[in-house]
Structure 1
Amino acid sequence: MAIEAEGGEPYGSMMDRRSFLVLVVAGCADPAASLNPPLGLGPVTPTPQRPEPVVNLSPSGSATFDAWLRSFYVKAVRAGLPSDLLDRELAGLTPNDRISALDSRQPEFSRPVSAYINGVVTDDRIAIGRRRRDALPALAQIESRFGVPRDVLVAIWGLESGFGAILGDFDVVRSMATLAADGRRREFAEDQLMAALKIIGSGEFPRSRLVGSWAGAMGQTQFIPTTFLATAIDGDGDGRRDLWGSSADALASAANLLAKAGWRRGESWHREVVAPPGFDYALTEGPREIPSWWAERGVRAADGRPFSAADQQAPAELIAPSGAGGPLFLIFHNHFMIRRYNNSTAYALGVGLLAQRLGGEGQLVRNWPQETPLALTDRSDAQRALALLGFDPGTPDGIVGINTRKALRDYQVSRGLVADGYLSLEMVRRLRTEAASQP
């Protein structure tokens, strides 16, 4: 799973090329207990010490990486991983500079949601997805068992790996070790490395099969190792859960993940809607109410069709991902379940819209607007301006998330503007000008 889809410090000086040996005490009895036994109880037998984990690995050429690896080795032994497994799989391990570069890279320009969706929902992808879906009989049983529509699963399959065509070629063990040593996402990376080593140690798959993206996502539906252990299943009945070689296994595992997350059978994931003139866009990303509540405020299904019986009773949130000038959506519970796969509104919309097109639905009623990509300085300047003007967007990191959009909506309301929380280049310029005029 992408995770979804994001710098590193320079490595330390070259170490002495001789092998190093570190002995770490895993545990010991309290010395005071043996020297001063309680009266009347007689001598106290010392608690046996556990064997000391012995780290005997060759240096990698990076002092930072080697220090982390020694610490991780001891942690892994204490977590129950066998020393012989660690000795074999961590021997000769070195950091991958490509991983460090990818992890530290922040795009200079943000990709507008319209550009993302137009790149995801294409005629070619729809045609390929339908062919792959129709050629996989196991999908009917998977849908029946888990309640997740086959077109949603095929859409995820298409976005994650191009229907199994792009699996990545990074050694997951080395990738996770590199990310952990770099430190920015150490806890996450160490958890994934532990899980990958458990998969190898179980004999289910050798390390040579554990290849994936630079961030550790594996197989046709891109599961990170912890997710593989928790939710991967056998979908083709051969007794294995091969996310790399079996499309049925990959799709059944994706369905199992969504079902465990709380997918609701029969409910939609989103519905395109339209709002009346003068609508209060400050309601976007706000209340979750049933469609009739929204209808009282003039919000209607864009295609004019009624909501299903299940959706009529399902609370939904209104979003305007490209502002009041673009398509609007009511997003239901299952939209958020797709975001358990990749926590991105654009990703969940991409999956949902592609699934609808795979199922034969038409294009959106309202076209996406022409959006201008914002530079990192544009986004961070807007955040600093909002803070200066008394609207807290959080840390000015250039990431336009829910806190930034809320702060922007509050600012827009206070200035009598359409409060859609959409950060356009025009809005950036307005904020810069107003902030510059402050004493």
Structure 2
Amino acid sequence: MSKKIGFVVNSFAGGGAERILGYVVNSIDRSRFSPFLCLLLSPEQSYELSGDVPVHVLEDSPLPFYLKAAAVGFSALAALPFLHSPSRCSEAFRHSRQVIEQLISASLGLKAIIDRERPAALVVFLQTSIVITLLTLIFFRQRLPVVCSDRILLSHELEGYRFPRLNRMLMRLLYRRIDVYLAVSEGVKQDMASQFGIPDTRMVTVYNGFDRRMVLERAGEPLSAGEQELFRRDGLVLITVGRLMEQKGHDDLIKAFALLRQSVSCRLILVGEGDRLDELRRLAAELGIADHVEFPGWTSNPFKLMAAADVFVLSSRYEGFPNVLLEAMALGKAVVSTDCPSGPFEILGGGRYGMLVPPGDHRALAEALHTICTDEAVRNDLQQRSRERAEDFSLERMVAAYEALLDSLSAGSAVLRSGRKDAA
């Protein structure tokens, strides 16, 4: 009889973590596992699911008085460290109350689903869902095996929060309840051990896979008239794909491109949306390269744009495991990436399959781009290496690693002590 496995995530909206979760849920062996999906915060679904996968969406229902009172009490405790600053104390109280009430409401809904479905184990993606799930299991004293995965370098991610120290302390306490922490790279695994105290014996690395067939098929779709305009001017075309946010380091990329333009005829396309769009446009104008930098926005098919470009660039300050690198490599693109924590170093084999530069160093990035743009032999060699390396990260290998982990966990056996199920 197949084991029922619950997959838990904030929503099924567009995103790399959600896409990977969809691959696993759709592909996992139905003779061994019966999956269901639980959306904790939003009913939005951007990815298709197999028809045999039940989807549970939590309803937003008002809390009873005694739980609201409990939220007020916990919020007051959370605000105590900020008593020296009345404004920060008040802000901490309001923020904590909002978060705690949301957690309690979601926890009650998740508890009802667990009682109804009675899964053999849970697989939880992304930090908010992890917190809600762990609190649910702790509060209701349910000893249900749980696999958790943040999909990002959590220590760096928390630095962008309003109260990073408070959140870090909460994570260290809660994550002790995790049976298996699933890291998307060895760098993430090391970060969770050093920053959050998770023992190595309770962590396993499973590299993301990607749908190579889908990427190649979609890359073959014709460009629209507007998209063709992006490639009609002279020179090589550099491209990056990702949300326009601080983490992605697009300001460093634009500065590097400005240096590159001094000696190389080329263009830069930044595919994506985000809150830094206006700032990045202004930076390009200030550097005198606005006519050579394009911001086409978000697209449901970035692969055909990537296929038409000459070089793919990743300028991130930190990652978890950037699948977009694999997708560019599958398309035979020569890639230049920051050696940010974490993921690029492991994907690119320390520089064997693409060029690595220090994060935050736009001059080093410009030098690497100059080499790859002006030395055709280097560029052709990296294109070939890219294709070969991308084949190591198949969906089948990733799903098999999840299946082995779930077999081990739901059977009550020890975590995979060897610690690693990857594609290298």
TM score, norm. by length of structure 1:
0.24
Computing the radius of gyration from Cα coordinates, the structure with the larger value is: 1
TM score, norm. by length of structure 2:
0.24
Q: More helix per residue: 1 or 2?
A: 2
Q: More strand per residue: 1 or 2?
A: 2
